Amino acid sequence: MTHALITGGAGFIGSHLAAHLLAQGQRVTIVDNLSTGSFTNVEPLQTHPDFRYAIEDIRNIHVMDRLVSECDLIYHLAASVGVQRIIQEPIETIEVNIGGTEIVLRTARRYRKKVLIASTSEVYGKGVRVPFHEDDDRLLGPTTRNRWSYAASKEVDEFLALAYHKEVDLPVVIVRLFNTVGPRQSGQYGMVLPRFARWAVANQPIQVYGDGLQTRCFCNVHNVVDAIARLAEHPAAVGEVFNIGANDEITILELADRVRTRARSASEIKLVPYDEAYETGFEDFRRRVPSIAKIKAAVGWEPTTPLDDTIDQIIAYCREDMAHG
């Protein structure tokens, strides 16, 4: 029986991955400091005989040494996430993302454990070639805009993981996630769909930042964790980078209207300037579309859940969550 360790396992994606792996018959241990994750996400798993947890920071090398020594495979999802959090807490973003990944890789090397590193579409920066391919050049904004610190920290994570693979033959797989969405995702740190859903359910104004014409592609979390699990077990994925996401574009303005319609909401849609929403001089992607040809060729994966179904799942979760306070 495979024993998986998930860092950030009480987070949105990590908790869904834990449930997915347990359903496959694996043992699962999660480690999370609950800075952005929530124990309620994994509470239903507590009674499962093959589930364990540690509430701890991944930068605690003594705890990580024990956890890594006991597992077969590491899913490294722990990170400082969300545009709002990145802008408000840039030190934490950089130190957690780089320092935490360094400890995971160093400990994995000690025990020769395979590591899947969760990276992000943010590393493509201001790229204008659409769709984004894994080997595309990258262009980030200036260091004076801490909005780019997250992308830069995740780039270092990728470089470090690939260096461990090249120099000491550590088995690593890197995935770049594009706007993963679904039930249990928090809108607290700027995640767009759960914020829209909560506003719509409450009949409050739906705030769209900028002109709303920027486009994104949203992929259901259940599809994403399936892709992650497949790549982690695929021998030919070692040493490679893969995009994971949907490739159907929608403008944020259209998304707001879609959520309002499906929630049968009376909310108005309100445009909010970036400078007011984030900080002066904030820069955003106009388009963010992944090429998923590589992952499809490797493991036959492609997203299967329509966006409307995902929106309905999020709205239903919001209604239940808000009803329980």
Condensed to tens digits (0 to 9), the pLDDT of residues 59-79 reads 999 999 999 999 999 999 999
Q: Residue 98's pLDDT is what? A: 96
User: Would the pLDDT of 174 be above 90?
Assistant: yes
Please name which of 55, 120, 61 lies closest in space to residue 86, comparing C-alpha atoms.
120
Q: Residue 277's pLDDT is what? A: 79
What are the residue boundaries of the structural domains of the chain, listed by start?
A: 3-181+220-246+290-304
Q: Residue 84's pLDDT is what? A: 74
Q: Given pLDDT bands bounded at 50, 70 and 90, which one contains residue 281?
A: confident
Query: 93 is written with which tokens?
Result: 């973003």
Element (H, E) at 55: strand 51-55
Query: 92 is written with which tokens?
Result: 């934490």
pTM metric for this prediction: 0.95
Q: Given pLDDT bands bounded at 50, 70 and 90, which one contains residue 190?
A: low
Contacts of 170 (CB under 8 A, 6+ apart): 105, 108, 109, 112, 115, 161, 164
How far, in Å, CA of 317 to CA of 22, rounded? Answer: 22
Please name which of 209, 220, 218 lies closest in space to residue 249, comparing C-alpha atoms.
218
Q: Residue 273's pLDDT is what? A: 93
Q: Which of 53, 75, 124, 150 is catalytic?
A: 150
Q: Residue 169's pLDDT is what? A: 98
Q: What percent of the chain has a predicted confidence (pLDDT) above 90?
A: 81
Query: 267 is written with which tokens?
Result: 């909310």
Element (H, E) at 315: helix 307-323
User: Would the pLDDT of 189 be above 70?
Assistant: no
**Is residue 115 within 8 Å of 160, Cβ to Cβ?**
no
What per-residue string of b and e applies to 264-276 under the rule 16 or more CB within 10 Å gives b?
A: ebebebeeeebee
**Is residue 127 within 8 Å of 178, Cβ to Cβ?**
no
Condensed to tens digits (0 to 9), the pLDDT of residues 105-128 reads 999 999 999 999 999 999 999 887
Catalytic annotation present for 124: no
Rounded (10°) angle between helices 221-233 and 12-23: 60
CA-to-CA separations, 44 to 49, 99, 101, in angstroms, rounded: 12, 31, 28
How far, in Å, CA of 256 to CA of 278, rounded? Answer: 19
Please name which of 257, 277, 150 lies closest in space to residue 210, comparing C-alpha atoms.
277
Average pLDDT of the chain to the nearest whole number: 94
The stretch 247-276 carries a mean pLDDT of 96
Residue by residue, DSSP assigns 83-150 as HHHHHH-HHHHHIIIIIHHHHHHHHHHHHT-EEEEEEEGGGGBT--SSSB-TT---B---TTSGGGHH
Q: Which CATH number fits domain 3-181+220-246+290-304: 3.40.30.10, 3.40.190.10, 3.40.50.720, 3.20.20.140?
A: 3.40.50.720
Rounded (10°) angle between helices 149-168 and 100-111: 20
CA-to-CA separations, 171 to 157, 218, 241, 251, 303, in angstroms, rounded: 15, 29, 12, 38, 26
